[in-house]
Amino acid sequence: MCAALFGAVIPAVAFAQAASGQGAPAKPASTQVAPGQQLKQTPYFALYEALGKPDGWKISGTIRPRYDGLGGQFRPSPSPATNDLFSMQMTLFAEYDTGPVRIGGEIFDSRAYFQRRNSNSIATTEVNALELGQAYLGFDLEDAVGAGTVSTLTVGRFTQNIGSRRLIARNQFRNTINAFTGIAYDFQNAEKDKLRLFYTLPHYRLPDDRAGILSNSVEWDHEGFDAQLFGGIFTKANVLGGILEAYGYGFLERDDGTQLEGIQTRDRRLFTPGFRLFRAPKAGQFDHELEAIYQTGIARNTTAVTDVTDVPVSAYFVHAEAGYTFDVPWVPRLSLHYDHASGDGRSDGSYNRFDTLFGARRFDYGPTSLYGAVQRANLISPSVRLEISPNADWDFYVDYRGLWLEDPTDSFASTGVRDRTGQSGRFAGQQIETRARHWLVPRSVLVDAGVAYLIKGSFLENAPNAPRTGDTIYGYLTTTFFF
Tell me the pLDDT of the chain (483 aa) as tens digits: 333 333 332 233 333 333 333 343 443 333 333 333 344 455 666 788 888 889 999 999 999 999 999 999 999 988 899 999 999 999 999 999 998 999 999 999 999 998 776 676 788 999 999 999 999 999 999 877 788 899 999 999 999 999 999 999 999 999 999 999 999 999 999 889 999 999 999 999 999 988 899 899 999 999 999 999 999 999 999 998 899 999 999 999 987 654 444 578 889 999 999 999 999 999 999 999 999 999 999 999 888 888 888 999 999 999 999 999 999 999 999 999 999 999 998 777 899 999 999 999 999 999 999 999 999 999 999 999 999 999 999 999 999 999 999 999 999 999 999 999 999 999 999 999 999 999 999 889 999 999 999 999 999 999 999 999 999 999 999 999 999
Q: Which residue type does 36 have?
A: G
Query: Model-level pTM?
Result: 0.89
pLDDT at position 256: 64
Find, among 269, 257, 267, the residue nearest to 309 by Cα: 267
User: Which residues, at least 6 apart from 176, have a Cβ–Cβ distance to it below 8 Å?
Assistant: 89, 108, 110, 124, 125, 126, 127, 128, 205
Give the C-alpha distances (Å, rounded to integers) separating 348 from 23, 309, 316, 412: 43, 10, 18, 18
pLDDT at position 285: 96
- 161 neighbors 194 (Cβ within 8 angstroms): no
CA distance 415 to 343: 13
| Domain of residue 342, CATH code | 2.40.160.100
User: Strand, helix or coil at 224?
Assistant: coil
207 cis-preceded (ω within 30 degrees of 0):
yes
CB burial readout 220-259, b (16+ within 10 A) else e: ebbbeebbbbbbbbbbbeeeeebbbbebebbbbbebbeee
User: Strand, helix or coil at 124?
Assistant: coil
User: Strand, helix or coil at 98?
Assistant: coil
> How many domains does one find in the chain?
1
User: Which residues, at least 6 apart from 400, have a Cβ–Cβ distance to it below 8 Å?
Assistant: 383, 384, 385, 430, 431, 432
**Max CA distance (Å), the chain:** 67
Q: Are strands 311-325 and 285-299 parallel, antiparallel or unpaired?
A: antiparallel
Range of the domain at 389: 2-482
